[in-house]
Amino acid sequence: MKPWTFLLSAALAVAGAACTCSSLDSSIPAADGGALVCVVPEDCPRTGTEIICVTNSNPDYTSTCVTCRSNQCIRVVTSCP
């Protein structure tokens, strides 16, 4: 392993450890004001910048995504400094 590779790996590890992400969940209301029902996340409406939430990865960026929990559409806003 080259010396610079080790230093780069160490710097990335320290930077990753310092990142503390936070998220805010909110239900997406239906037109009548009730809960918007879903079976899968793809059933939930999205704006042009929202994505389907990926549940098997740690967020390391600021994003907004939608998911389906307990048959309700949920918007998740994640923010990492």
Consecutive sets of 10 residues in the chain, 81 residues long: mean pLDDT of each? 44 52 91 93 92 71 88 92 71
3-state secondary structure the chain: CCHHHHHHHHHHHHHHHHCCCEEEEEECECCCCCECECCCHHHCCCCCCCEECCCCCCCCCCEEEEEEECCEEEEEEEECC
pTM: 0.67
pLDDT at 6: 43
Tokens linked to 81:
């400094």
